């Protein structure tokens, strides 16, 4: 079978590798579509393990199941994820499933989503594979994971009806946050980015106000928001300046959700005195867990959140290098999908 093997962002090769064999507890999926995630093109993060087959935002059809598998069968349309929480450790029991050590270290995919066939094993077979209803296309289903991560973040940020929400960084995850905040009844939604095309997308998908992160930011924000800063801020840009902006633009009693982080060892210098006095909550959100995927499937099925309007490029596996090139240029795309219509 063909697979897209990642060496670095500018070197993703289509190679011929064997179809993975399945054991009694495994499932074989014929991949139909797989999204290129922002984390796939974070070269410093990916290159450590290269060469490897990336791809974790996928849907496909079950083509074979091990003899112990009774809950899935051939021809099932499914979503699958490479890591799931163990549901047994203290972190899982306390509800911090993405802090679970198994979740963070075990990868149940072989080889990965950018391949014609994919073996899923371990606990992912049970809580990581979910059937997708007919109302969700294979292409839309590739958003179950990214939307799941966003829903997890929205839950952590506890957006209440009418609250103002500032999203810093309007790439795909920021735009999904804007869509979700709108669906959940936020008040004024403000999108912030340095790229004009992303601010246009923020407006299109639900932000009433868009701002660039310049010196007048807080006064412009107050002008647009009844004299107030933002009640909730979601940081979706992995930079020090984005985090600093968030910590400086949060209203009294507000919450900053750190959804994207700067590179390791990039430090943010903060005077926490105002946050301490003003009852500011700072939270983080990483990854998505089975609950988030269930919610994402329901929202997509019932069209509470639409995602087909965010797919800007669809390319065949043989063109995966081009897909990575497009995804690496933030001004030219939103979601890039690799399609495997074999």
Q: Which residues bind Zn ion (CB under 5 A)?
A: 37, 85-86, 89, 92, 100
Residue 149 beta carbon to Zn ion: minimum distance, rounded to whole angstroms = 7
**Residue 189 CB contacts under 8 Å (≥ 6 apart), including other chains:** 164, 165, 167, 178, 181, 182, 206, 207, 208, 209
In terms of CB distance, is 89 or 294 closer to Zn ion?
89
Distance CA 16, CA 96 (A): 39
**β-sheet with 189-192: strand ranges across:** 209-211, 189-192, 165-168, 230-235, 250-258, 281-284
Residue 230 beta carbon to Zn ion: minimum distance, rounded to whole angstroms = 26
In terms of CB distance, is 146 or 254 closer to Zn ion?
146
Residue 51 beta carbon to Zn ion: minimum distance, rounded to whole angstroms = 20
In terms of CB distance, is 100 or 320 closer to Zn ion?
100
Residue 214 beta carbon to Zn ion: minimum distance, rounded to whole angstroms = 30
In terms of CB distance, is 209 or 299 closer to Zn ion?
299
Here the contacts of 293-298 (C-beta below 8 Å, separation 24 or greater) are 293/79, 293/81, 293/130, 293/144, 293/145, 293/148, 294/130, 295/148, 295/151, 296/143, 296/144, 296/145, 296/147, 296/148, 296/151, 297/79, 297/130, 297/132, 297/133, 297/136, 297/144
Residue 225 beta carbon to Zn ion: minimum distance, rounded to whole angstroms = 31
Distance CA 192, CA 196 (A): 10
Residue 251 beta carbon to Zn ion: minimum distance, rounded to whole angstroms = 30
Q: Tokens 């340095």 identify what position? A: 194
The SS3 of residue 6 is strand
Residue 48 beta carbon to Zn ion: minimum distance, rounded to whole angstroms = 17
In terms of CB distance, is 103 or 205 closer to Zn ion?
103
Residue 296 beta carbon to Zn ion: minimum distance, rounded to whole angstroms = 12
In terms of CB distance, is 171 or 191 closer to Zn ion?
171
Q: Is residue 256 a contact partner of residue 285, using CB atoms and an 8 Å limit?
A: no
Burial 39-76 (b: 16+ CB within 10 A, else e): bbbeeeebeeeeebbbbbbbbbebbbbbeebeebeeeb
In terms of CB distance, is 245 or 297 closer to Zn ion?
297
In terms of CB distance, is 86 or 268 closer to Zn ion?
86
- For CA atoms 140, 145, 150, 154, the dihedral sign is positive
């Amino acid at each position: 079978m063909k697979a897209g093997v990642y060496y670095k962002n500018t070197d993703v090769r289509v190679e011929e590798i064997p179809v993975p064999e399945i054991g009694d507890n495994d499932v074989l999926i014929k991949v139909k579509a797989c999204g290129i995630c922002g984390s796939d093109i974070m070269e410093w993060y990916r290159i450590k393990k290269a060469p490897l087959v990336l791809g974790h935002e996928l849907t496909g059809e079950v083509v074979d199941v091990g003899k112990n598998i009774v809950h899935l069968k051939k021809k099932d349309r499914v979503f699958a994820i490479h890591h799931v929480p163990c549901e047994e450790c203290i972190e899982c029991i306390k509800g911090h499933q993405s802090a679970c050590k198994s979740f963070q270290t075990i990868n149940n995919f072989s080889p990965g989503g950018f391949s014609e066939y994919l073996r899923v094993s371990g606990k992912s077979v049970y809580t990581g594979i979910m059937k997708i209803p007919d109302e969700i296309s294979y292409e839309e289903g590739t958003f179950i994971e990214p939307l799941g991560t966003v829903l997890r973040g929205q839950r952590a940020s506890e957006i209440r009806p009418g609250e103002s929400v500032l999203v810093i960084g309007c790439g795909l995850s920021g735009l999904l946050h804007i869509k979700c905040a709108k669906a959940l009844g936020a008040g004024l939604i403000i999108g912030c980015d340095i790229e004009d095309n992303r601010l246009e997308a923020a407006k299109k998908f639900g932000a009433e106000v868009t701002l660039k992160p310049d010196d007048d930011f807080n006064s412009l924000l107050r002008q647009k928001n009844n004299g107030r800063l933002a009640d909730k801020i979601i940081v979706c840009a992995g930079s020090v300046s984005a985090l600093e902006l968030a910590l400086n633009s949060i209203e009294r009693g507000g919450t900053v959700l750190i959804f994207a982080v700067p590179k390791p060892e990039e430090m943010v210098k903060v005077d926490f005195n105002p946050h301490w006095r003003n009852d500011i909550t700072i939270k983080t959100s990483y990854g998505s867990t089975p609950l988030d995927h269930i919610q994402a499937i329901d929202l997509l099925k019932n069209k509470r959140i639409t995602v087909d309007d965010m797919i800007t490029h669809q390319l065949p596996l043989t063109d995966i290098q081009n897909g990575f090139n497009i995804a690496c240029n933030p001004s030219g795309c939103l979601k890039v999908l690799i399609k495997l219509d074999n």
